[in-house]
Structure 1
Amino acid sequence: MATTTEADIHITKGHEVLKLYQFNTHTARHYFCSVCGIYTHHQRRSNPQEYGFNVACLEDVDPFELGEVPLGDGVNHPADRN
């Protein structure tokens, strides 16, 4: 996952097979491929002008060559701190 601004994200192909998923406040917009199910990108809840995107979806990018990447546990959202 990497971050970019709304102005800098461009879907170059496959737009017609993307499906939107929203939950809870319907602020964040999560996109998945309707063919294979992979998560491609999302518009952030905390800042709707930012997008997170799946680096592995980019042509000619090998995410394993990026080096050490911070990980989340998939359960605890950074904005949910007490």
Structure 2
Amino acid sequence: MRLAPLPVPPALLAPAAPAASPTPNDTAVNRRWERNTSSNVNETATGHRLTAGAHALELWVVDPTVVVQELVVDTGGLRPSYPGPPESRRVH
């Protein structure tokens, strides 16, 4: 059995529009990608306002290929450093 070629609409044959120039947002993403790949680290930060008292921090496994090697909780006064602050003492 031999199949006949399907007709292609002319709109699909039109040349593609030129790529848009990078926006400032693209530049920030590219810089983050360069940093992550050069140091093999993905640094992610979030900010939260908490009330006084005890709190629990939960990490959920969503992707089994992701490894969390370090978790930094800044309660104020954290200075930028590479590859991060020294390990703190354990509190039980």
Identify, as 1 or 2, the structure richer in strand.
Answer: 1
Q: Same fold (TM over 0.5)?
A: no
Q: TM-score, normalised by structure 2?
A: 0.22
